[in-house]
Structure 1
Amino acid sequence: MSGIALVRKPGPRIAEGIVTHIEREPVDYERAAAQHDAYVAALAGGGWRPAYAKPADDLPDAPFVEDAVVVAGRVAVLTRPGAAERRPEVESVAQAVRELGMKTVRIAPPGTLDGGDVLQVGATVYVGRSARTNDHGITQLTALVPERRVVPVDMTGVLHLKSAVTALPDGTLIGDPRYVDLPDLLVPPEESGAHVVLMGGDRVLMAASAPQTATMLEKRGLSVTTVDISEFEKLEGCVTCLSVLIEE
């Protein structure tokens, strides 16, 4: 499996990004930019060709492109972020996916939906009810992806569903049961071990902050690539929210 990795470079105002469930820490813009370059290089090394959304230096959270669009096949569902100050991020992402030849549909008011609340596992789509994603948004997404089974998930104490749980290549859910109630969770040794990007086959991308989880997954037969995203973790970011992978 390979394709396109939609990404966006962080801007110099990144330190002003929204923080909800953790204490704010200083964010080093230059270090964040270098970490982002290394993250994109890791995806490229896994066969994912980078495609950059236009810079949005006036929007601090703009590098978290996952929240602006949900890709289902060749359809791009443009979201309506729950944080009003993040909604201007969507139009430039919309332009990027249209330039990639994708059909776009859109979440409309009063619906809100953040892409970070959407976890696709085969034909099943888990959607977290959160401060950013409401029932109107979940209902609209269900109608926009009729070929998928949409499963609403209650959660607590984290920003997004994918802050608490993602999936391994075989469909096993890996996550933290303190934040989300899903059956048969594989519990990682570190909180950031719940965040896994599938790069195709047995290859996964993870944060360097979860070395014990990386070892655990390697023992399960997976090929693990790790990247340092510490500056983004200070903003409740994780490896999943910095890209949207589009299969070709």
Structure 2
Amino acid sequence: MTTDASFRFTHAITRRPAASITHGLRAIDTGTPDLATMQAHHAAYTAALRATGATVIELAPLDPYPDSLFVEDTALCLPQGAILMRPGAPTRLGEAAAMEPHLRAIYSTVHVIEAPATIEGGDILVTGREILVGTSARTNDAGIAALNAITARWGYSLRRVQTPPGVLHFKTDCALLDATTILSTERLAASGCFAGYDLIHTAPGEEAAANVIRFNDTVLMPAGFPATKDRLTAAGYQVTEIPNTECAKLDGGMSCLSLRFTPS
């Protein structure tokens, strides 16, 4: 993998929110998402991806699965092939199967993580030098081992790390900004898991800004975190803000809403 393959992509997959999104999973109930508002925010997100020059494959809503717009959890897409995850939330198990035909239409190589492993894409951070995978309520050791068995054959080094207590996914608290630079909350960085990387910390009180995505020359971040935005722009990054109030009610952020890849 070239060092910039972790943030330069030609394609993305998104899925429009279904009416059932009001029943989506949430760690803490901060209110029911408004469907129309979420649809508008999702459209802005998809438009921002297209503005980078990417081809965006926008899938239809999947009403039986309220959380299905969070497509990142269903797969890991690498230049060598795609790996279908096995979500740790029982209500989300069918989402990976629904994604499978779309990935098989794109990739000649598709692997599938099997039970008893559980692993979700939100716990996987691919950098320019390794794959970091956080254990969480959704990703277990068997899932990490199963992923490692596949990616090792493709020449990747995989490292298991610990997601902070009370944090849904590893990438809830971090994001890749370039091959060697990571945006992280203070609580996650304090674990030492990013030793050897350049770090930019989210501003105090803006921990929810940690889940951004670097997509080609643009960093997409949730709107409403001005101090963290200032830190990113001061570091030379081009930032596009996307409204995210409704997805945030379901613990969703920028990375959750797309699969990003360059097909082999």
TMscore range, shorter length: over 0.9
The 1-side partners of 2:202 and 2:61 are apart by 35
Is the CA contact 1:206–1:227 (under 8 Å) kept in the aligned structure 2?
A: yes
CA deviation profile, 1:164-206 (whole Å, cap 9, x unmatched): 11121142121113246224542111112212211114x2111
> Which residue in 2 is equivalent to 1:197?
213
CA contact (8 A) 2:127 2:179 kept: no
1:132 & 1:49 partners in 2: Cα distance? 30
Q: TM-score, normalised by structure 2?
A: 0.89
Contact 1:127–1:150 (CA under 8 A) maintained in structure 2: yes
Aligned counterparts, 1:198-217, within 5 A:
198-201=214-217, 203-217=218-232
Match of 2:143 among 133, 137, 140: 137
Moved more, 63-72 or 45-54: 45-54
Name 1:187's counterpart in structure 2: 201
Q: How far off is 1:54 after superposition?
A: 4.2
Deviation string 1:30-89 (CA, Å, 9 cap, x unpaired) is: 111111011000000011211123431121100000000011213111000001110111
Matched, 1:172 2:188: no
Correspondent of 1:13 among 20, 27, 38: 20
Aligned residues between the structures: 246
Q: Tell me, what secondary structure is at the counterpart of 2:13?
A: strand
Structure 1 gaps of 5+ residues are none
Q: Aligned equivalents of 1:60 and 1:195: distance in 2?
A: 21
| CA RMSD between the two structures | 1.5
Taking only the aligned residue pairs, the percentage that are identical comes to 34
Q: In the aligned structure 2, how far is the partner of 1:123 from the partner of 1:107?
A: 23
TM-score, reference length from structure 1: 0.94
Matched, 1:40 2:50: no
- Distance in 1 (alpha carbons) for counterparts of 2:159 and 2:209: 23
What per-residue deviation string (whole Å, max 9, x for no partner) do you get for residues 130-157 of structure 1? 0000000000100110111111111222
Aligned residues of 1:157 and 1:179 also touching (Cα < 8 A): no
Partner of 2:254: 239
Q: Which residue of 2 aligns with 1:163?
A: 172
1:81 paired residue among 76, 87, 108: 87
Q: Which stretch shifts more, 68-77 or 124-133? A: 68-77
Contact preservation (8 Å) 2:222, 2:254: yes
Q: In the aligned structure 1, how far is the partner of 2:51 from the partner of 2:118? A: 34
> Alignment partner of 1:109: what SS?
coil
1:63 maps to 69
CA distance in 2, matches of 1:36, 1:47: 18
